[in-house]
Amino acid sequence: MKHSALLTDLYQLTMMAGYYENNLNETATFELFVRNYPPNRNYLIFAGLEQILDYTLNIKFTEQELEYLRKHPTFKNIRDEFFDYLKDFKFTGDIWAMPEGTVFFPNEPVMRITAPIIQAQLLETYILSMFNFQTMIATKASRIVSASQGRQIIEFGSRRAHGPEAATLAARASYIGGCTGTSNVYAGHKFGLPIYGTIAHSWIMAFDSEEEAFEKYYKSYPDNTILLVDTYNTIEGIKKATRISPEIKGIRLDSGDFYLLSLEARKILDDAGLQNTKIVASGDLNEYKIKDLIEKGAPIDAFGVGTELVVSADAPALGGLYKLVEIEKDSKSIYKAKFSQNKITYPGKKQVWRFLDNNKLVKDIIASAEENIYTQQNAIPLLSQMVKEGKVLSPLPNINEIKQHCLNNLIQLDKKLLNSDSTTNIQIEISKSAQAKYNQLKDSLI
């Protein structure tokens, strides 16, 4: 996942050239946040930080890329020095962020970047695409996992993801959000995720009979055979599966009425003495369907979830924002904000304080970064410094630590919030100091 420095919107580069030409090298602070809850969501899980930091700290324009820019008509009035600057581009700023896997809410900055404005500007597009996607998927995964009440959820969606890289990132984010693993082998290799697989219809059809297909697979994978039973006739398929001896690990239902079929399947398996053989269901599942199946008592042990998970079908885009909040000019902080209709931002560097009671989240306060009064109230500051002058301060957590951190955060939420139909919202306050900065700035501009 080596990513080009050109993975950005053209206007970032034209603005950078403009800053360069105007000798605008003030230190700017940008914050990354989400303005509103996406549909059907009442919390979000921060994901994508590892990839964002990797990109930010290793960004490099190749000669070929610089040549492309130099020759592009857009830049015809820009001096060559700008491209020399890009050639030596290196991020030298500071980054504060919530740990990956943290539960967060609208208007809370999850990341704060302080760097010369020309550097911070370049990163916007990449940071947003990585943050928006992984956060959206981790959040969706956690909803599906909550609905499954302890049954395993395996991410099966590579073929429906938005291209091969999206498939890989979706596998990672799903794991952070609580999935047990993925079918994506590359994601397994790259990120150390558990990988899972059964068999496809093509295997069944490649043999002269369903029985032969079942037996041949079992011979190669005696400890790990989950037979797909719906190629021709599901009930007949299940009966054939029971005849594979001594016993298969599971069967997979991939079409039809999962409630009725799972009841029948359990009965057929149990009658054949296969109490330990599991039932896996896959096919157009989501948190609502899984919740319904479980509430009705469908004896399904694990769910493979694809499409609806990897594209977050009911909320397929997250509107993350990366906004300028402060500029240091002549050693003075100048606060910045946007007052466009329904698109306001809060000025100044901020910190988010989390108030817990008995390990339950009571409220968050979004405060100015310099406010420290909340430590006395035992609140926890969610953002900590991760990068100083372009260098990572301490090693990042591994994927299992991120997943565990996410789980710890989810446990702090009221159970009502984790219900897929929940309309409950956590209380988020803006501190008086942060609100005052906003009001002052607005008054000064009118």
Classify strands 320-329 and 332-335 as parallel, antiparallel or unpaired: antiparallel
**Separation between Cα atoms, residue 68 and residue 350, nearest integer Å:** 38
Q: How far is CA 181 from CA 26, 145, 251, in A?
A: 45, 12, 18
> Would you say 192 or 297 has its CB closer to a copy of itself?
192
- DSSP code, position 198: -
Question: Closest separation between CB of residue 237 and a copy of itself, Å?
Answer: 10
> Would you say 195 or 428 has its CB closer to a copy of itself?
195
Question: Closest separation between CB of residue 256 and a copy of itself, Å?
Answer: 5
Question: Closest separation between CB of residue 334 and a copy of itself, Å?
Answer: 9
> Would you say 19 or 83 has its CB closer to a copy of itself?
19
Sign of CA dihedral 294, 298, 301, 305: negative
> Would you say 156 or 374 has its CB closer to a copy of itself?
156
Task: Point out which residues pair with 303 in neighbouring strands.
Answer: 153, 281
Surface-to-core class of residue 174, CB atoms within 10 Å of its CB (0-12 exposed, 13-18 middle, 19+ buried): buried
Q: How many residues does the chain have?
A: 446
> Would you say 77 or 331 has its CB closer to a copy of itself?
77
> Would you say 134 or 242 has its CB closer to a copy of itself?
134
**Separation between Cα atoms, residue 429 and residue 114, nearest integer Å:** 24
Q: State yes or no: cis peptide before 246, omega within 30 of 0.
A: yes
Q: How far is CA 184 from CA 28, 167, 192, 301, 377, in A?
A: 40, 8, 11, 21, 45
Question: Closest separation between CB of residue 379 and a copy of itself, Å?
Answer: 30
Question: Closest separation between CB of residue 178 and a copy of itself, Å?
Answer: 20
Question: Closest separation between CB of residue 214 and a copy of itself, Å?
Answer: 11
- DSSP code, position 408: H
Question: Closest separation between CB of residue 108 and a copy of itself, Å?
Answer: 19
1: helix, strand or coil: coil
> Would you say 407 or 441 has its CB closer to a copy of itself?
441
Question: Closest separation between CB of residue 23 and a copy of itself, Å?
Answer: 11
Residue 427: how many CA atoms within 13 Å on its side-chain side? 8
> Would you say 261 or 387 has its CB closer to a copy of itself?
261
Q: How far is CA 155 from CA 23, 130, 188, 426, in A?
A: 49, 19, 12, 28
